[in-house]
Structure 1
């Protein structure tokens, strides 16, 4: 299952509504490392469909880029009730991302 593409307005709306835990992947279209990171996240999501990951092109998210001070891509932002709690810039491996997301979504 591919990552769900969202736009900035939708993501801002979701941050103003307590919605539990989320993961958002920031990327750019011409970034090779971003493409690799997205493939790894696709594998994680296929291994555990309960993990829902959205993606957004950082070039179309200037408000969130500034507000959250995202310094580079790829960047996986873990959210809790609309607030960023962790920024993961290093897409180390599928195993690393799987454990990170399992901990984020399944830890009470």
Structure 2
């Protein structure tokens, strides 16, 4: 499933079923946004993550709803959301917890 955005880039909905293919087997950079619909800071961060996705087409951007994917949230020790995790060539290389400005997200994916 993909969420629709205004641009031609899509943010991928990541689930336990597609995590291996979309994240671990991807060559290059993947930014994952762990979020929940009831989380105010998550709702504020989401459009910023979408902007980063639009401005960095070389980075795959995925979103994981922690309520729908508790196994993935547990696997990455998600205790607070929003939480951003960066993978490069299938390896976790960076993370950020809480509402952060766009500049910080860009730094994370560099």
Q: State the TM-score bracket (shorter-chain normalisation).
A: 0.7 to 0.9
Match of residue 65 from structure 1: 73
In structure 2, what is the Cα distance between the partners aligned to 1:27 and 1:18?
21
Structure 1 runs of 4+ off > 3 angstroms? 12-20
Seen in structure 2, the aligned counterparts of structure 1 residues 16 and 24 have a Cα distance that, compared at 3 Å, is: closer
Question: Conserved in 1, the CA contact under 8 Å of 2:29 and 2:60?
Answer: no
**Are residues 13 and 47 of structure 1, via their aligned partners in 2, closer, same or farther at CA, if it must alter by over 3 Å?**
closer
2:64 paired with 1:46:
no
Mapped partners of 1:15, 1:53: distance in 2: 9
Deviations, residues 16-51 of structure 1 (Å, cap 9, x unaligned): 536443111110011110011111111112222222
> 2:95 maps to what in 1?
87
- Tell me the distance in 1 between the aligned counterparts of 2:11 and 2:75: 23
Instruction: Say whether the 8 Å CA contact 2:33–2:63 is kept in structure 1.
Output: yes
Structure number having the greater helix percentage: 1
Aligned length: 102
Quote how far apart the aligned CAs of 1:53 are.
0.6
After superposition, the Cα gap between the structure-2 partners of 1:21 and 1:47, relative to the gap in structure 1 and judged at 3 Å, is closer
Q: Cα RMSD between the aligned structures?
A: 2.0
- Runs of 5+ unmatched residues, structure 1: 104-108
Structure 2 gap segments, 5+ residues each = 1-6
